[in-house]
A and B are shown apart, each in its own frame.
Chain A
């Protein structure tokens, strides 16, 4: 048997890099130039992962490999409508950043820098080069593994931002970021750097939105450092089109007594992948990494998370609930690693799937790797349909079958939204779930 190739080449990327590398942020900085070049070489040596790789077994990137995207830094035509920016008005108040097709838009942004410093990438390199460099190099990798999309992002990152929350600063407003994709075949490679120092506390809300014409490719890498006794909360909302490719990777390291919380509400895309490597480096910390996937048509969403416990008395929870209709496909890959000595770890993974159509698919792979002997870890996955007893009960009280189904589906998702600790965003999340129902034209719901 011939071994299946683990990677497929995407050679045009290197050509695009040659053309634009002198225009990319940091091209005037030596170390940055070197760093990008190395990353480009690393990516050229691999290419795009195939399903022969265990981590990519359930997400097929062949189409992404075949597709040609326009070069990053192409001119932006301002043909988006005010409606798309007004999305920001539905979100809580706070410093805001707008990116269009991967480029920071100062005129639509309001990144007021107070106690918390929020800089777009270029400015960050000028004002906080050392810290930025440190964070750019940070990974939460096991051994010497590579991640082609992180390399690709390093080579081509067109923009991004850096948040610095100094010691003991507690933000009174969330930072709100809108990434708007407006052009067909546009590609954006973005980098988010979150530097939360000891005792600081910040919340970040990120919204990815594509115009209906968009068949774009977004590659986003987030490097996060949460200091001792600090807290970072992230809420990420994906409104992609059915033709979009969205690949996101978070690399987070959290110190002792800290808390990292993330929630992703995702309605899928051609391919949407929300991946994370989280390393718990200090005692008594908590990591909550949750997701709700609402998928229909032929959309695909992949939630992959790996949490490594490298300290005692920490808790991690990965919860993913999916509702899959039509011929859509959801993927859950959760892995909890407990390293030797990480005693009294409390690790928990749960993936509940609700299948609404006979052709809907879910691939689920919860995994535990435990090398300590005094831990409490559990994982589980369920896949099912709506409870017939509950449906009949509701209908016998006068609800139509459609109303009853909606109520039960919303209830299924409700506790996931309830678990979000940033209360101000909950009404918006509930509205989005309702919108998802309302946009349903032809399914059985």
Chain B
């Protein structure tokens, strides 16, 4: 589903990603772990297509086609979802308006009929209920004044509404209390099936107690230095990044 080949990314003239390879097949959950500054967020923004993240070498293929020339909204329409580490506050736009605009933009892009107000409301109420999101939150401005947990629940709600083929969750677990963490984990586990793929980018092993990854990769200085199964995450937990990365070198 996703093939990243020898990816090189520059941000403000600094080479951050230096030859990264990653293959993700449908049905798989991959966890990318790494210390601060290893290039985790750069990888997720590059996959999302953010301006200022210049791909200077290599390629990203989604279902066999390069996505490098696609802008962020086209990638969303294709079925790539990026969960943000720091969801952006947008005062003045209610969450409900935002969600409806997003859902219909994606549906339109996918050649599906746009949802009318009634059907959209039905859908969003049902999804919100599943995630334990109060309707009152949907009336507030997007992420504005939300607690960390509310912001991440909102990310998972968006993921659930936009029905992506692949989700990339960038440190969606950081700083969450255990209840919010479970919501995130449940969202991911609900999406898990043979047609969908998930890439979880995280600093902490704790999330992996709730989401069982098929593969774990260690990212260091812009490259994947070790890959393994969930046992690798256990090793990280016991020995720490320094030791595991040193062994890989």
Contact = CB atoms under 8 A, between A and B. Distances in A.
A441 interface: no
Contacts of A387: 88
A401 B71 contact: yes
B90 A393 contact: yes
Interface stretch (B72-80, B219-227, B240-248): B72-80
Contact of A399 (B48, B73, B88): B73
For A390, A398, A401, A414, which residue has the most chain B Cβ atoms within 10 angstroms? Answer: A398
B48 A392 contact: yes
A415 B92 contact: yes
A397 to B, nearest CB: 4
Interface majority SS (helix, strand, loop, mixed), chain A: helix
Interface bracket on A: 20 to 34
Interface string A43-64: 0000000000000000000000
Interface in A380-402: 387-390, 392-401
A87 interface: no
B158 A397 contact: yes
B48 A396 contact: yes
Interface residues of B, number: 29
Contact of B76 (A389, A397, A412): A397
A388 B50 CA distance: 10
Interface in B102-142: 102-103, 105-106, 109, 141
A395 B88 contact: no
Interface string B62-106: 000000000111011100001010011011110001100111011
A398 B92 contact: no
Residue picked from B72, B97, B158, B162, most chain A C-beta under 10 Å: B72
A407 B105 CA distance: 13
Interface string A399-419: 111011001101111110000
Contact of A397 (B50, B91, B102): B102
Contact of B72 (A390, A395, A408, A412): A395
23 contacts: A387-B88, A388-B51, A390-B90, A395-B49, A396-B48, A396-B49, A396-B76, A397-B73, A397-B76, A397-B158, A398-B76, A398-B102, A398-B103, A398-B162, A400-B105, A401-B73, A404-B73, A407-B101, A410-B92, A411-B90, A411-B92, A413-B92, A415-B91
Given A398-B109, A407-B101, 20 more contacts: A390-B88, A392-B51, A393-B84, A393-B88, A394-B102, A396-B73, A396-B76, A396-B84, A397-B76, A397-B158, A398-B73, A398-B106, A398-B162, A403-B101, A404-B73, A407-B97, A407-B98, A411-B90, A412-B92, A415-B92
